[in-house]
Structure 1
Amino acid sequence: PEKRYNSSAAKYQEELGPPVARKILEKLGAKKELIDEVCDIISHHHHPRKQETLNFKVLYDADLITNLEEKHKKEPLSKDELKRIIEERLFTESAKRLAREIFLEGDI
């Protein structure tokens, strides 16, 4: 998406990512079940549904932490805002622990 639209916006990742992933995974001989799950995750990885798989949650959390770190470096967020995001938006306890270490205990 970045080359095509000069943007890494979520909508482009979600729209254009699944066909690319499917092609790569098929070429590698991945099973249909895995390919379908990966493509499903990519197709909505910025927009969680009410029920999600652990695989989705791990990817979502990793992506959110990465994006939050980039945003925080450009426009620092308050500790309270960081705490709110960590508690309300991250799914897994391991991601919450990692985010607390990165954003609340260390200097970034």
Structure 2
Amino acid sequence: MKCPGQDSRFWQPGAIFEAKCPECGQMVEFFKDESKRRCRACGHMFVNPRMDFGCASYCKFAEQCLGYLPPEILAQREALLKDRVAIEMKKAFKKDFRRIARAMKVARYAEKITLQEGGDPAVAISAAYLRDVGAGAADGEERGATPAREILQRLGAREELIDAVCRIVGHRHDAEAEADTNTRIVHDAELLADLEEHGKEAAADAAAIREGIRRRLLTESARALLDDLPMEA
């Protein structure tokens, strides 16, 4: 079934209009359902100025429907993706509130570290949410990434993003300094989340615990966060 907003049978007057080319000023004719047009005068390709791309920011069929998505919409889709991944994580864990709370903490730290380290928020934060969804799965680490892949595919994420997230989710042992930025971010976010969760239980050994965590951290941003993390009961 075609989206009614894109079906010409429902069009009103003004569905065919002209827009000025931003490069040369020549008038270019648009149909309301065209996402882009090339100017015949100068060859510049530009986006339909009257098109509402609102649904494209979340609909997984947007590219099939519209054929083209502007860069700002692609960025918005991935910004929204992490929020939808959080919802799917909660569905996967159901009433396991302890695991939900831990995933939320890891994602919170991943977001803070990403802002400083220059990682990809959609990859790092999604991996932080999904890291434990496949934990304990049989037949090796890669099998553990399967639930994460299924969730991201269901949400319509890019295949490159899915592969990047699943590499992190399936990498259960400690990351190394040579790992990619997003892997280091999630690794450090998990350490900080664990310290926040269990640090107060061992406040008497706070200094030793903090130093042990510091040696395992891979990013300067996480070390700065560690210094601000209270350990007292």
TM-score range with shorter-chain normalisation?
A: 0.7 to 0.9
Structure 1: unaligned runs, 5 residues or longer = none
**Higher-RCO chain (CA-CA 8 Å, sequence separation at least 6):** 1
- 2:71 aligns with none
TM-score, normalised on structure 1? 0.73
Q: Cα deviation per residue 1:36-60 (whole Å; 9 max; x = unaligned)?
A: 1101101124421463110111111
Q: Residues of 1 paired with 2:156 and 2:93: CA distance?
A: 27
Report how far residue 69 of structure 1 moved: 1.6
Q: Residues of 1 paired with 2:209 and 2:218: CA distance?
A: 17
Match of 1:13 among 126, 130, 135: 135
- 2:208 aligns with 80
Q: Residues of 1 paired with 2:212 and 2:151: CA distance?
A: 37
Structure 2: unaligned runs, 5 residues or longer = 1-91, 100-131, 138-142
What percentage of residue pairs aligned between the two structures are identical?
34
Report the structure, 1 or 2, having the larger strand content.
Answer: 2
Q: RMSD of the TM alignment (CA)?
A: 2.9
- 2:155 aligns with 28
SS at match of 1:13: coil
Conservation of the 8 A alpha-carbon contact between 1:45 and 1:56: no
Q: Residues of 2 paired with 1:74 and 1:66: CA distance?
A: 14
Conservation of the 8 A alpha-carbon contact between 1:14 and 1:45: no
The residue identity in structure 2 corresponding to 1:52 is A
CA separation of 1:93 and 1:49: change in aligned 2, threshold 3 A: closer
Q: Which moved more, 1:91-100 or 1:77-86?
A: 77-86
SS at match of 1:82: helix
Report the structure, 1 or 2, having the larger helix content.
Answer: 1
Number of corresponding residues: 100
- 1:63 aligns with 190
TM-score, normalised on structure 2? 0.37
CA separation of 1:70 and 1:54: change in aligned 2, threshold 3 A: same
SS at match of 1:72: helix
- 1:96 aligns with 223
Q: Which has the larger radius of gyration?
A: 2
CA separation of 1:58 and 1:14: change in aligned 2, threshold 3 A: farther
Return structure 1 stretches of 4+ with deviation > 4 angstroms: none
